[in-house]
Amino acid sequence: MNLFKISPRIFLTMPMIILFVFLFVIPLSKLFWISLNENYSFSAYSYIFSQKVFGKVFLNTIIISIEASLITVVVCIPVSYFLIQISRKKAALFIGFLTLPFWMSVLVRSFSWIVLLQHEGVVIKLLNLTGFSSASLLYTRGSVLAGMVYIFVPYVILILYTSFNKVDKNLWFTGFSLGANKTEVFLKVFLPQVVSSIFLSAIYVFIISLGYFITPALLGGAKETTISMLIDIDMNQTLNWAQGAAISFLILGLILPIVFIGAILFNRKRFISHD
Amino acid sequence: MIKLIQRTYIIAFLLYILLPAVLIILLSFSSTSYLQFPPKSFSLKWYNTVFENPKWINALLYSLKVGAISSILSTAISLSFVHGIEKANKFFRFFFLSVIFSSILTPAIVIGISLFFWFSTIQLIESPISLILSHTLISVPIAVWILYDANKKISYNLDKTSLTLGHNHFQSYLKVRLPLLKYSLIISMILTFIISFDEPVISLFITSTTNITLPKAMWDGIRYEINPATLAVSALMIVFTTTLTVITILTTYKKNRDETELNQYR
């Protein structure tokens, strides 16, 4: 097909282009301009880099994100693996149950963890019954991770299940007939085919958690400050708008290279190919 | 033995997924004023306080309105877009789709504050239009994803057949392609509605002084005072989105059945 042959169909994309230019490109450019104090000054950025506290928060956010993505993926692999072994109907039912919380409000889901973990809550009561005693589970690293993993689990299961399902089941029998046992087939035949989607889902969770706001803000205390909470403080409390804008661009600066690496490493042409 | 471990793990996992929601619904019927577990007695007290408080009702109505308009808008824009790129060359398709999907990876809070500054500049911040447009922006990727996939599965042979049978392009679109996209359009409208209805972050920054959305009202309720009224609202939201999700799942079954039928004519 010729690159320069443009059919009139392309004009149907106009509403979308207008939407994105006016609500995505221009606002982000405006935000960048604000981060420069509307004056080509990099003082907001240099202030952030000069203060240790920002570095600490960035590091904390990155660590939380890594932990969240690792835990989510490790929890989800066995479930997805189980799903491809049972019949399709059962798997569909299971996934149906799974998608119920998937579409529930993030706010409600985070709130449910507040209810679970608070000092009169179920988890503490159960811990007391078994002999452990803990004053509060809320506003700790653990509570932030519990809430975040809970929110990301459905995404990851859906990604992993789709890719696990694509692996040809006959390969197992091929492996067995060539003398390998179950573990060997799993490690040498199955895993190499799905490892890229495992990485992909981990990267996806990592990126989303870097800028996640609601869950850390509700379940983490002042000790577990993340980058997005700094933006909120700048916007709503200190009204230091240039700084809030600059922090936003630092998050984007963190996310962008990871997206590029992800896209290049696992160039999946799902949306591009027309069969 | 391995089977047993597997079973236990899966059951534990399902409980982990479903229990928090069940717990919220259970506790929302509690009659005590603090979040006590297990609840001592049950009552509809907190539902009464919710329905008697105009703050919650107004927020609910506002959210429903914004959600309905933005879901129609984003589905319409996405449908038009999908038809715009379906025959474009690879380069264009890749470019457009990656720009659209890059908006998913941009943190909501960044989108929120960028839109806040932009709408303040053009003095639209007080109007519901700003919120509707913001919600349209964030729900467009999912609509494109659903409609692009569905549209790809409908063979051009069907359009060609209807053209040979004497329809013009417009008629053929209205009578052949659009009816086949029916279920996907319904799914897309429901899901984009849920996205807008549940959206908590952007609404924090783009709110007028007179109107707030339900998630924003809940956010204030959770952050500044945890009271069981918030619990009742959460329970209602869970029931509402679950109903919508079940409708979506049923529609997906119908859509899949249609698609298998269609595959005979590929």
pLDDT of residue A153: 93
Beta-carbon separation of A153 and B106 below 8 A: no
B45 vs A29, more confident = A29
- Confidence band of B94 (pLDDT split at 50, 70, 90): confident
pLDDT of residue A275: 36
- Confidence band of B221 (pLDDT split at 50, 70, 90): confident
Which of A20, A105, A213 is the closest to B241 by Cβ? A105
Q: Would you say residue A47 lies in a domain?
A: no
pLDDT higher than 50, residue B217: yes
pLDDT of residue A91: 87
pLDDT higher than 60, residue A194: yes
CATH number at A94 reads 1.10.3720.10
Q: What is the mean pLDDT of residues A161-190?
A: 87
Q: How far is CA A99 from CA A156, B112, B178, B185, in A?
A: 11, 26, 27, 19
pLDDT higher than 80, residue B208: no
Distance of CA A148 to the CA centre of its chain: 9
State the smallest CA–CA distance between residue B93 and chain A in angstroms: 7
Judge whether B18 is closer than 8 Å to chain A, CB to CB. yes
pLDDT of residue A267: 62
Judge whether B247 is closer than 8 Å to chain A, CB to CB. no
Structural domain total, chain B: 1
Contact B110, A248 (CB under 8 A): yes
Q: Would you say residue B254 lies in a domain?
A: yes
Which of A186, A165, A166, A163 lies closest to A176 in space, CA to CA?
A: A186
CA gap B57, B75 in Å, rounded: 27
B139 lies in which domain range? Answer: 47-265
Structural domain total, chain A: 1
Q: How far is CA B198 from CA A242, B202, B214, in A?
A: 29, 11, 8
CA gap B44, B17 in Å, rounded: 26
pLDDT higher than 70, residue B171: yes
A66 lies in which domain range? Answer: 60-265
Q: What share of chain A has pLDDT > 90, as a percent?
A: 44
State the smallest CA–CA distance between residue A122 and chain B in angstroms: 6
ipTM reported for the complex, 2 dp: 0.89
- Confidence band of B230 (pLDDT split at 50, 70, 90): confident
Reduced to 3 states (helix: H, G, I; strand: E, B; else coil), residue B30 is strand
pLDDT of residue A5: 59
Q: How far is CA B29 from CA A236, B32, B41, in A?
A: 35, 9, 8
pTM for this one?
Answer: 0.90
Q: What is the mean pLDDT of residues A149-162?
A: 92
Residues in B closer than 8 angstroms to A210, CB to CB, are 107
Burial (CB < 10 A; 0-12, 13-18, 19+), residue A218, is: buried
Q: Would you say residue A98 lies in a domain?
A: yes
Judge whether B51 is closer than 8 Å to chain A, CB to CB. no
- Residue A87, token pair as written in the block: 């019949």
Q: Would you say residue A113 lies in a domain?
A: yes
Which of A9, A101, A114 is the closest to B83 by Cβ? A9
DSSP A26-60: HHHHHHHHHHTTTTT--HHHHHHHH-HHHHHHHHH
Q: What is the mean pLDDT of residues A56-65?
A: 94
User: How confident is the model over B72-87, as pLDDT tens digits?
Assistant: 999 999 999 999 988 8
Which of B84, B110, B152 is the closest to A211 by Cβ? B110
CATH number at B126 reads 1.10.3720.10
Which of B27, B92, B110 is the closest to A251 by Cβ? B110
- Mark A123-148 as b/e (b = at least 16 C-beta within 10 Å): bbeeeeeeeeeeeebbbbbebbbbbb
A206 vs B225, more confident = A206
Counted across chains A and B, CB pairs separated by less than 8 A come out at 237
Q: Would you say residue A14 lies in a domain?
A: no
Judge whether B40 is closer than 8 Å to chain A, CB to CB. no
| Average pLDDT taken over every residue of chain B | 88
Q: Would you say residue B69 lies in a domain?
A: yes
- Mark B10-33 as b/e (b = at least 16 C-beta within 10 Å): beebeeebeebbebbbbbbbbeee
Q: Which of B3, B105, B202 should be substituted to probe chain A, the one whose Cβ sees the most A Cβ atoms within 10 Å?
A: B105
CA gap B56, B218 in Å, rounded: 9
Q: Taking CA A99 as the corner, what is the angle to CA B137 and CA B135, rounded to the nearest 5 degrees?
A: 15
Q: What is the mean pLDDT of residues A207-232?
A: 90
Beta-carbon separation of B222 and A111 below 8 A: yes
CA gap A148, A156 in Å, rounded: 12
State the smallest CA–CA distance between residue A252 and chain B in angstroms: 7
Q: Would you say residue A122 lies in a domain?
A: yes
Q: Would you say residue A33 lies in a domain?
A: no
Q: Would you say residue A166 lies in a domain?
A: yes
pLDDT of residue A270: 46
- Residue B76, token pair as written in the block: 């319409």
Beta-carbon separation of A99 and B249 below 8 A: yes
Judge whether B215 is closer than 8 Å to chain A, CB to CB. yes
What are the φ and ψ backbone dihedral angles of A30, each rounded to 5 degrees? -60, -40
B260 vs B236, more confident = B236
Q: Would you say residue B122 lies in a domain?
A: yes
B266 vs B4, more confident = B4
Q: Would you say residue A26 lies in a domain?
A: no
Beta-carbon separation of A115 and B223 below 8 A: no
Sign of the C-alpha dihedral, residues B141, B144, B147, B150?
negative
pLDDT of residue B107: 93
pLDDT of residue B261: 81
Beta-carbon separation of A9 and B84 below 8 A: yes
Q: What is the mean pLDDT of residues A229-250?
A: 92
Judge whether B114 is closer than 8 Å to chain A, CB to CB. yes
